[in-house]
Amino acid sequence: MRQAIRLFCLASVLLLAQVPLTAQQPKPDPRFDRTEAMIPMRDGTKLYTLVYVPKQAKEPLPIIMLRTPYGIDDRAERSFKEYFKDLVDDGYAFAFQDIRGRFKSEGTFVMTRPARDLKDPKAIDEASDTNDTIDWLLKNVKGNNGRVGMLGVSYPGWLTAVAMLDPHPALKAVSPQASPVDMFLGDDFHHNGAFRLSYGFEYVAQMETDKVNSRFAFDRHDTYEWYLKLGALSNVNKLHFKNKLPTWNDFVAHPNYDDFWKKLSLEPQLTKVTVPTLNVAGWFDQEDFRGPLRIYELLEKHDKTNQNFLVVGPWNHGGWGGGKGDKLGRVSFMSDTGAYFREKVQAPFFAYYLKDKGTAPSAEAKMFQTGSNTWESYDAWPPKTAVKRELYFHPKGKLAFSPPADTEQASDEYTSDPANPVPYRPRPVRPTYPGPEWQVWMVQDQRFTHGRPDVLSYETEPLTEDVIVAGSMKVRLFAATSGTDADWIVRLIDVYPQEYAKEPEMSGFQLLIAGEPVRARFRKSMEKPEPVKPGQVEEYTIDLNWGHHRFRKGHKIMVQVSSSWFPLIDRNPQKYVPNIFEAVDADFQKAQQQVFRSPKFQSRLVLDTLPNAPK
């Protein structure tokens, strides 16, 4: 079990805050006195910690702490340049720590260590290690004011979330950023139970092949071609991993939402707001978008004192941690959104709760509205004024606010062929890391799939007024398959005008707003999958999570439906097998897919929208 629990972190090992790094070892920051310490935990294990105290401190200072499994020897100096720059300017002491069993810390490393038995005073977990560290810091860091703040991106964000579940009395403010929450329902390795193939395979190969990071030796420049040649997932162990890499074996052993996955989930523990919490996410986070939204949503149910906040900007994974944030790929946001967050949101949050300076956050939710490229503030998220609007599928690829008429034909069809799956980004698909496309694939032009015979596209006429999405985005899909299992991939796209005078090079651009898969076998239960009956119409709800996007007048709203998104998502055999990880090549078959749009089966897009206001 201990080996299996390593699963969650394995993806996160490379999901660290994307602070720009340099190849050269940075010099110690001359503004600080730097101290190395081996801090003893309650069981005697010592954790390697670096403490930085400003040399010119004029008053007692709070301590900002970051705990990580990635190594801390040069993290401070790098972070001080951008991620923590505004905090440094405000004046704090800082503590960086290698968690138990990693790098220079003692002990045994257990990934996403389970919560300890509170009845056992000697039991340990990440929360107890955090609390023991804070005890030591308060006693040993000269001139501290008795308050501690904690933050981090991805796995350090998860460590922050764990710490706030059982907080030390001195922990007065936290910011879990891009923290994973549930690895089966919607974070790194699965989305709605559909396996994220290229991501999972490449992390396992990189992190478990050797003690050091090891890049898998693809023999194809285009990994789309390599994964297609690989065939069924059962070939992974047969041809490559040889049953030696425990995380892949965990994937195989736990294909459904069983106790293994549930014990790794933070969701059941998010039942109270213990300290002021700043949740941070990016609209184009290619790794952990659902996690921070879910933390906010679950905590908000228990927030009686207005201490739970949400910030979402136009960023990829950790993109707010460094750089200006003025653009991503070819998409410009018309302002320095990353710098704005670090200076105007993150720094004031900690200053107020740790130093009694400034004011409390003025908005419950600070949300960047893509499309208009503006920051908007709300006292609740989704906004209380949001109303549902529905866009219905119609013949000839039309999407409209009016429901289908009685005379309209029932469905559209396509053939899904596992031998020719729809790519998730333009080919060649280079490896996830260090391939540069992984960082920006969510803002790549989606025209590369438009017109494929196995992709259905439904789009509105050019909009006569802006449509402002603010909150939930879901598709209610009525569909049938000739097989006994199927995947349904839905993507929501903003189609720019064919003549876009503002940015001519963006004319006709198709911007992905959101996309998610569902696996038919899980339509009734994530715990107990079952086959579908060939030809039977089933309703699928595809949750595209939250969004805040302004579809501008003259643009079009498009919904695309397909049955593959490769190799981001593994191929469905389209023949029900108890465990797709044990399927063989002979199990894969073509299937005829039907998407219904009749008065009885009204496939449609359901959006939370705001009243239109000029921008």
What CATH number does residue 155 fall under? 3.40.50.1820
Both 116 and 196 in a single domain? no
Whether 324 is in a domain gets the answer yes
Both 365 and 232 in a single domain? no
pLDDT at 435: 81
Report the CATH number at residue 394: 2.60.120.260
Both 34 and 172 in a single domain? yes
At a CB cut-off of 8 Å and minimum separation 6, what does 3 contact?
246, 250
pLDDT at 27: 77
Both 409 and 395 in a single domain? yes
Both 329 and 194 in a single domain? no
Both 71 and 115 in a single domain? yes
> How far is 451 from 459, CA to CA, in rounded Å?
13
Contact 208, 245 (CB under 8 A): yes
> How far is 133 from 256, CA to CA, in rounded Å?
37
pLDDT at 209: 63
Report the CATH number at residue 246: 1.10.3020.10
pLDDT at 4: 38
pLDDT at 26: 64
pLDDT at 546: 98
State how many domains the chain has. 3
Q: Helices 155-165 & 290-300, crossing angle to 10 degrees?
A: 10
Residue 413 backbone phi and psi in degrees, to 5: -130, 155
Both 510 and 582 in a single domain? yes
pLDDT at 288: 94
Domain that holds residue 587: 387-610
Both 559 and 582 in a single domain? yes
- What are the average pLDDT values for consecutive 10-residue runs of the chain, which has 615 residues? 38 37 63 97 97 95 95 91 97 96 88 84 94 98 97 96 96 97 93 95 73 72 97 97 89 96 93 98 96 98 97 97 96 98 98 97 97 98 97 97 86 98 97 89 96 97 98 98 98 97 96 98 98 98 98 98 98 98 98 97 98 72
**Cα 323 from chain centre:** 20
pLDDT at 39: 98
Whether 232 is in a domain gets the answer yes
Whether 510 is in a domain gets the answer yes
> How far is 423 from 429, CA to CA, in rounded Å?
8
Tokens 């990829």 -> residue: 316
pLDDT at 12: 40
Domain final position from 228, 262, 296? 262
Both 276 and 417 in a single domain? no
Whether 357 is in a domain gets the answer yes
Domain final position from 350, 378, 406? 378
Whether 615 is in a domain gets the answer no
Give the pTM: 0.94
pLDDT at 245: 84
Both 9 and 142 in a single domain? yes
Both 418 and 351 in a single domain? no
Question: What are the DSSP calls for 24-59, one per residue?
Answer: SPPPPPTTEEEEEEEEE-TTS-EEEEEEEEETT--S
Domain final position from 262, 280, 301? 262
Both 373 and 401 in a single domain? no
